[in-house]
Structure 1
Amino acid sequence: MIHQGIPDQHRLFWTDLGIDGIANIYRLLSVSAEKFLDAVQECEFRNEAEQRIYNYLIRMIESMKINSLRNFLRFWTGSSVFITDKLFVIFTYGYSPFAHTCGSTLELPLHYNNYQEFEVEWDAILNNIQEEWTWSMDSL
């Protein structure tokens, strides 16, 4: 039953892949805070501000629910599933966070005075992504 609808050119690949294999692929691609934290690459900090903002990032990831993690991953990489095992962070003096999705690199500005400012901005960004994604999928 699982193999119905598979195009002939893909049949060989999927024939050898059973339920356990599909479940394993799902586990590999799925999002969790632990997987996120494992993927975020350690930075060399040039100053205390970079260390502080990086700590805000880690704290935020640890506190996120699955839907927020998916939206954050989509912002960072362009995908809501893990297609890379490395996520990079760089710091800027810009105003807003910016993602280079091809390189899985997140630019974080250094202007946040406290964690609450950091979290409020990310909540707004991630809620906006969810609304845009929902709208674009609904309009198809």
Structure 2
Amino acid sequence: MAFESVQMSDEEAKNELEEVSAELKEKEEIELIEVTEAGGIPEDTAQVTLVEGLINLCQFLFSPIFVQTFILTFLAEWGDRSQIATIALAAAQNMYWVTLGTITGHGFCTGLAVIGGRLMAAKISIKRGWTFLIS
């Protein structure tokens, strides 16, 4: 996939991204139509109650992507050397500063991974990559 990304022109990468975006938009529209026909979304959406707002917030916060990412990161970090070092540092130093430094450092590291993944997704064809891995 990395080799294909190097060989792919900017125009091909842009077309691939537009194609995937169009497919996602089409899928969302179909799901919205199905939910509306099933009576899930009322035609008159003038007022949303507090309970519905809280339900929407919980569904947003605990989306499958969030839960998968949380579990993956939690399991990857549980018991590794950096966590053991953080425990020792928190025992010897100010717990609040250690917590702030740990959250900030991990946030930067994860942020770079997310940005790098986004940039790679713009250059690598997902369809070609999966086809390559399957065959």
Higher normalized helix content (fraction of residues) = 2
Higher normalized strand content (fraction of residues) = 1
Q: Which has the larger radius of gyration?
A: 2
Q: TM-score, normalised by structure 2?
A: 0.36
Q: TM-score, normalised by structure 1?
A: 0.35
